[in-house]
Chains A and B, each alone.
Chain A
Amino acid sequence: DVVMTQSPLSLPVTLGQPASISCRSSQSLVYSDGNTYLNWFQQRPGQSPRRLIYKVSNRDSGVPDRFSGSGSGTDFTLKITRVEAEDVGVYYCMQATHWPKTFGQGTKVEIK
């Protein structure tokens, strides 16, 4: 299985400040069709996960533009330009290039 490794696992942030989460995969996530199927999800306390980013850098509908994704190959990043109170939760990267699809361990974002 492709192992997805996130860092940090805990991220205390100050409101209005930026935040960044790293995700590294044990194999390249470039698929044979040339696409890279790397997603980012947010899970607020007590809620189902919500996808923020698909194919590395594409924001889902309704996702604020303070969220952005970047990276290639095996190294990916989720950035929040200015953290707001509603951003508290756990963030997961997930690869859908290789079977079985696998998630990172999660990064817990909390307000300092």
Chain B
Amino acid sequence: QVQLQQWGAGLLKPSETLSLTCAVYGGSFSNDYWSWIRQPPGKGLEWIGEINHSGSTNYNPSLKSRVTISIDTSKNQFFLKLSSVTAADSAVYYCARISAGACDWGQGALVTVSS
């Protein structure tokens, strides 16, 4: 079974860039899309974007100008960068694979933006 493990800086100042890594263990990237989703404390889920093994991406238009998702298939990792963060970007960030045949989530990473 595929496992996703994620990490990255947990405390940022306004205007800094959020950077998170998600490592995929126990499987390859195959033909699925690999996603980033976030959840502000006590609130619901928001789709940030996704990438496939060939590097094709889809971004949420609400974040598109600030988001970059990339992939390193040699390391079985994919990445999230969100620039110019504000307090509104404070959330638990999840990496995930959600396809018709499989669904796997990372453990989540709490990112707090505070001056």
Identify the A interface with B (CB < 8 A). Answer: 35, 37, 39, 41, 48-51, 54-55, 60, 92, 94, 96, 99-106
Contact = CB atoms under 8 A, between A and B. Distances in A.
A37 B98 CA distance: 11
B58 A39 contact: no
Contact of B100 (A55, A101, A103, A106): A55
Contact of B47 (A51, A103, A105, A106): A103
A100 B107 contact: no
Closest 10 CB pairs of A and B: A51-B103, A48-B105, A100-B60, A101-B47, A103-B45, A106-B44, A100-B47, A105-B44, A48-B108, A103-B44
B61 interface: yes
Contacts of B59: 100
Contacts of B107: 48
A96 B33 CA distance: 12
A106 B62 CA distance: 20
Q: Range of interface residues on chain B?
A: 10 to 19
25 contacts: A39-B98, A39-B103, A41-B45, A48-B94, A48-B105, A48-B106, A48-B108, A50-B105, A51-B98, A51-B103, A54-B100, A54-B103, A60-B103, A92-B44, A94-B45, A100-B47, A100-B58, A100-B59, A100-B61, A100-B62, A102-B47, A104-B44, A105-B44, A106-B44, A106-B45
B46 A103 contact: yes
